[in-house]
């Protein structure tokens, strides 16, 4: 593992983003627009906003980050830069870590912006520590990066890669406990939801919005989400084939 090559890759991805300010603006704005919309939908149901606002604080960034990273890596495959990189000393994990670092930085900014808006002007009420909420949101974004990079390894075209969004992300939304509490699902579905990372993110967000001093349980949820993110990255590196047809 070379730190220099990983950092050079992260720097390169950030430079690409700098030349594409519209994408950066969209990534920062879209979750803010959606949280604002949520607040307006629940204009007369303040408690309902408090309940849904925090979990969606994790979900909205997950979606934008997943799409952007999966397409970014796919573009490397389509344009041939990936093939060139795979013939260079850059390792596959170094490449993916470079992506995780650069998009992770952007995701952290995104999480801070959307949390500041939601907790401030939109007035979301949470009982637990705000810092943990931001950290959890950043970890979910890292998960989105990991899943996006992993999904990209199985896609050859843009059409294929966008299909992974409804396949990988939307079932997690249905099963994460946002629509129906996980304990009240049929046992098979409950068991499946136990294996999905978004469930832990939403559990953590629920804890933070309801309970004071939920630090311990939330920290465990954060650790699980982070473990899934790292697992997806490592799996992504393992499934990234050097040799193609």
Partner 1 sequence: MTGRPGPSRDDAVRFEQVTVERGGRAVLHDVDTSFAAGRVTGLFGPSGSGKSTLIRAIAGVQLRVRGAVTVLGERPGSMAVRRELGYMTQSPSVYEDLTVAENVRYFAAIRGGEIGDVLERVQLSSHANQLVRNLSGGQRARVSLAAALVGRPRLLLLDEPTVGLDPLLRRDLWRLFGELAAEGSALLVSSHVLDEARHCDEVILLRDGRIVAQLSPAELSVRTGTEDLDEAFIRLIEPR
Answer yes or no: are the C-beta atoms of 160 and 78 closer than 8 Å.
no
List the structure tokens of 129: 């520590």
Cβ 82 to partner 1 shortest distance, Å: 8
Compute the CA torsion angle 89, 157, 30, 219 (nearest 10 deg).
-50
First-to-final CA distance of the chain = 27
Residue range at the interface with partner 1 (CB under 8 A); choices 53-61, 85-93, 160-168, 217-225:
85-93
- Could you say whether residue 110 binds partner 1 (CB under 8 A)? no
Q: Is 3 in the site for partner 1 (CB under 8 A)?
A: no
19 binds partner 1 (CB under 8 A): yes
Residue 158 interacts with partner 1 (CB under 8 A)?
Answer: no
Which residue among 1, 3, 4, 120 contacts partner 1 (CB under 8 A)? Answer: 4
Among 48, 83, 158, 212, indicate the residue that binds partner 1 (CB under 8 A).
83
DSSP letter for each residue of 112-178? HHHHHHHHTTT----SS-HHHHHHHHHHHHHHHHHHHHHHHTT-SSHHHHHHHIIIIIHHHHHHSSS
CB of 113 to partner 1, least distance (A): 23
- Measured from the CB atom, the residue of 11 and 125 that comes closer to partner 1 is 11
Minimum distance between the CB of residue 76 and partner 1, rounded to whole angstroms? 9
Q: Does 187 bind partner 1 (CB under 8 A)?
A: no
- Please state, in angstroms and as integers, the Cα–Cα distance from residue 207 to each residue in 7, 116, 173, 184, 221, following that order: 36, 19, 18, 17, 10
| Residue among 68, 85, 96, 124 that touches partner 1 (CB under 8 A) | 85
User: CB of residue 85 vs partner 1: minimum separation in angstroms?
Assistant: 7
Q: Which of 21, 22, 88, 183 forms a contact with partner 1 (CB under 8 A)?
A: 88
Q: Give the interface size with partner 1 as a residue count (CB under 8 A).
A: 26
Q: In this chain, which of 89, 120, 186, 216 binds partner 1, going by CB under 8 A?
A: 89
Helix (H) or strand (E) holding 83: helix 81-86
Q: How far apart are CA 102 and CA 215, in angstroms?
A: 28
Query: How big is the chain by its Cα radius of gyration, in Å?
Result: 18
Question: Interface with partner 1 by CB under 8 A: which residues?
Answer: 4-5, 8-9, 11-12, 15-16, 19-20, 79-81, 83-90, 241-245
């Amino acid at each position: 593992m070379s730190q220099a090559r990983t950092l050079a890759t992260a720097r390169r991805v950030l430079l690409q983003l700098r030349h594409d300010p519209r994408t950066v603006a969209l990534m920062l704005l879209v979750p803010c627009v959606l949280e604002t919309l949520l607040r307006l939908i629940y204009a007369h149901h303040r408690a309902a906003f408090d309940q849904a606002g925090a979990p969606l604080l994790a979900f909205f960034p997950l979606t934008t980050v997943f799409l952007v990273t999966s397409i970014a890596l796919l573009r490397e495959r389509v344009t041939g830069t990936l093939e060139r990189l795979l013939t260079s000393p850059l390792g596959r994990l170094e490449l993916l870590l470079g992506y995780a670092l650069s998009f992770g930085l952007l995701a952290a900014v995104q999480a801070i912006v959307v949390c500041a808006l939601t907790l401030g002007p939109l007035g979301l009420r949470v009982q637990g520590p705000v810092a943990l909420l931001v950290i959890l949101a950043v970890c979910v974004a890292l998960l989105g990066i990991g899943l996006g990079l992993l999904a990209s390894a199985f896609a050859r075209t843009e059409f294929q890669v966008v299909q992974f969004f409804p396949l990988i992300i939307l079932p997690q939304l249905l099963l994460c406990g946002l629509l129906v509490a996980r304990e009240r699902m049929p046992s098979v579905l409950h068991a499946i939801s136990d294996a999905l990372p978004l469930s832990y993110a939403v559990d953590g967000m629920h804890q933070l919005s309801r309970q004071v001093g939920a630090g311990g349980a939330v920290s465990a949820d954060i650790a699980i989400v982070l473990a899934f993110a790292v697992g997806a990255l490592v799996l992504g590196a393992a499934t990234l084939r050097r040799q193609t047809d």
